[in-house]
Amino acid sequence: MNKKELMLSVILAVAITGLVIAGWLALVNAIGLIGVACLAWFYRKDQINRWIKAGLFFLLMPLVFWVATYRPEGFSYPLLFTLPGTEVGESGFELYVNFAKALVGLVLLLLLWHKPRGDEFVAAPRWQFLSALFAPAIIIAVAIPALGLALEPKLIEQIVLFALVNLLVIAVAEEAFMRLLLQQSIRNAAASLGAQRWVQELFSLVVVTGIFVLIHSGLTGAAVWVYALAGLLYGLSYTLSKNVCYPIMIHFWVNLIHFALLTYPIPS
């Protein structure tokens, strides 16, 4: 472990300890976060045996998901605001700051950050830029009629708070998990089996798009296809660039535009 990694470890330990003491992070999630950091640190090493690497992947994947989503009974993350339901008696939207999810995303981002290798496909910069530029508009344009979204602007202070949580908790954590841990790992596994480069990229993109839809439980009807489109375009931006910043940026803008201007959450 070099000095930079040691410093990051100390910062992470201090942050986790402070959040637990403040009552903003459950102790069991804090322990899980330490496990994620340790596993990710070993997993990123190229020189380890591929079977050990596969074992680390199948330990890390469910642990990351569990730490980010598990909320012990009686524990609650800080609540920033609540939106009333659209129907009488309907529960509204509540924006919590899920610190476990934020920290697990940050750990994956720092430890699994990917630099493209010579044998990997990377599109020309203009295609990377165009994918990031047009993807949010395409997703929103499809979602409005498909999901029956109406114009419902939110208050400025609500938009600002949502933007911060959206970036630091939702977009970073979900895209670090989906792209750096899942999509890149599946692509690498396909490459190690001798698959052609287009097969490596297409297979990992399709599989992870399916996983993206599955982890958003409760989707029915048109919502399934809208989420599939979103997951596909997030993943495509990573396929073209091998830079996780692109899917993070697209995910951020799709969520922010949806929240700030349209019916939120998606009508059931």
Query: What pLDDT score was predicted for residue 91?
Result: 62
Write the pLDDT tens digit of every residue in 66-111.
Answer: 999 999 999 999 999 998 866 655 567 899 999 999 999 999 999 9
pLDDT (0 to 100) of residue 1: 65
Beta strands, E only, 107-236: none
pLDDT of residue 90: 59
Instruction: Say what percent of the chain tops pLDDT 90.
Output: 82
pTM score of the predicted model: 0.94
How far, in Å, are 21, 58, 162, 225 from residue 168 at the CA level?
A: 21, 25, 10, 26
Express each pLDDT in 142-156 by its tens digit.
999 999 999 999 999
Domain boundaries of the chain, sorted by first residue: 1-84, 113-268
Please list the ranges in the chain whose pLDDT falls under 50.
Answer: none
* Per-residue model confidence (pLDDT) at position 243: 96
**Could you tell me which residues are beta bridge partners of residue 32?**
none
